[in-house]
């Protein structure tokens, strides 16, 4: 079956511009996570969705970062006024939810480069 | 708070030799532990997970890991390395509620012919 998909695969933007990153989770997965992978910081948790709610946003690095999920499915991560330190690979993962043992299925990521 | 430490950022092994990747965890609650593998320009793929059942966990591609509470360790092993095992490996820990993952820094494995 289809796995987690993310778009775009690569995004190059200029400092100060806004960007939107999209994640399509596996159908039926109620939990969705965003992570960031960068050379300096490694893999970091950003935000967790259960359905359309985000009970844990503790990893969002600043108020320039926001995310939403609609219909219990697609999620969009938005970065406003991008900075060079936002350059990283943004990974999305989905999970069946409670009782699944926590296994997360990852997408291929979106590589964001801020010039 | 939960965290993991991976000992060794790079490991080089000969084809056919034992692969041993070390991971120690810190957790205030019974942990869920995971090993993920990442091939170049790809996402993360789950190798195996520990969720408080058997302490010796078998995963895909011949990998296994043993949970040792007394040592707070969850080391990953494979008896015989193959060229296709060259990748970056991440140990991760989560709680049993939100399941958000805290990752180690990763270990890059190279396999020599």
Identify the bridge partners of residue B35 per DSSP, sorted by sequence position.
Answer: B48, B91
Q: Of A35, A48, A102, which is closest to B51 when you measure between CB atoms?
A: A102
Rounded to the nearest angstrom, the gap between the alpha carbon of residue B97 and the centroid of all alpha carbons in its chain is 21
Higher pLDDT: B108 or B52? It is B108
Residue A97 has pLDDT above 80, yes or no: no
Average pLDDT over residues B91-100: 87
Low-confidence winner among A38-42, A77-81, B16-20 (lowest mean pLDDT): A38-42
Tokens of B50: 């520990």
- Which residues of B fall within a CB distance of 8 Å from A48? 98-100
Q: Do B99 and A35 touch (CB under 8 A)?
A: no
Q: Of A4, A55, A101, which is closest to B51 when you measure between CB atoms?
A: A101
For A81, how many CA atoms within 13 A lie in the half-sphere containing its CB?
A: 3
Determine the pLDDT at residue A99: 64
Burial class (CB in 10 A: 0-12, 13-18, 19+), B95: middle
How far off is chain A from B113, nearest CA to CA, in Å?
Answer: 28
Q: Cα(B66)–Cα(B68) distance, rounded to whole angstroms?
A: 6
Determine the pLDDT at residue B47: 96
Average pLDDT over residues A89-105: 86
Question: With an 8 Å Cβ cutoff, is B51 touching chain A?
Answer: yes
Q: Do A42 and B105 touch (CB under 8 A)?
A: yes
Q: Do B106 and A42 touch (CB under 8 A)?
A: yes
Model confidence pLDDT, tens digit, residues B51-90: 877 889 999 999 999 999 899 999 999 999 999 999 999 9
Closest chain B residue to the Cα of A91, Cα to Cα: B43
Q: Cα(A77)–Cα(B75) distance, rounded to whole angstroms?
A: 34
Higher pLDDT: A114 or A1? It is A114
Residues 72-111 of B with CB under 8 A from A: 90, 92, 94, 96, 98-106
């Amino acid at each position: 079956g289809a796995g987690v998909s993310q778009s775009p695969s690569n995004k190059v933007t200029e400092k100060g511009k806004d960007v939107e990153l999209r994640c399509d989770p596996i159908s039926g997965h109620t939990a969705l996570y965003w992570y960031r992978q960068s050379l300096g910081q490694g893999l970091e948790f950003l935000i967790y969705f259960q359905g359309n709610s985000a009970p844990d946003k503790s990893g969002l690095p600043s108020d320039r970062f926001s995310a939403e999920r609609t219909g219990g499915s697609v999620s969009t991560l938005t970065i406003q006024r991008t900075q060079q330190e936002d350059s990283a690979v943004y990974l999305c993962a989905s999970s069946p939810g409670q009782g699944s043992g926590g296994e997360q299925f990852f997408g291929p990521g979106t590589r964001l480069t801020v010039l | 708070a939960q965290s993991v430490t991976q000992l060794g950022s790079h490991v080089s092994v000969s084809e056919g030799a034992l692969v041993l990747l070390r991971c120690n965890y810190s957790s205030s609650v019974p942990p869920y532990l995971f090993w993920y593998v990442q091939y170049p320009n790809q996402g993360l793929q789950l190798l195996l997970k520990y969720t408080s059942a058997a302490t010796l966990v078998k995963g895909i591609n011949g990998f296994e890991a043993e949970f040792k509470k007394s040592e707070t360790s969850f080391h990953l092993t494979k008896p015989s390395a193959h060229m296709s095992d060259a990748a970056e490996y991440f140990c991760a820990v989560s709680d049993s509620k939100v399941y958000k993952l805290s990752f180690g820094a990763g270990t890059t494995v190279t396999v020599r012919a």
